Amino acid sequence: MSITVYILIAIVYLILDYYIAKCFSEAAEAKGYRDSKYFWICFFMGLVGQLLVIALPDRGCKRNTS
C-alpha cells in the first residue's frame, strides 16, 4: 500500500476519535463534570477513557436545556 493510503487512514481515525471524544465529553458534562480533561482522556486513551466516563457517578446537577 502507498503511504498516501496510510496517511488517509490516520486522518480518518483522528477525525473519528475527535468526534467520539467530544460525545463522551458532553456525556461527562451532562453528569455534572465540567472539566475538559474528560475530552482529552477519551481522545488519547480511547476505550479506557470511554469506560471511565461511563463509570462516572451522576453528581445530580441538571443541565439547562433551554
Per-residue pLDDT of the chain (66 residues), as tens digits, is 799 999 999 999 999 999 999 999 999 999 989 889 999 999 999 999 999 999 999 987 666 665
Distance, CA of 36 to CA of 60 (rounded, Å): 19
Distance, CA of 66 to CA of 63 (rounded, Å): 9
Distance, CA of 26 to CA of 63 (rounded, Å): 11
pTM of the model: 0.80
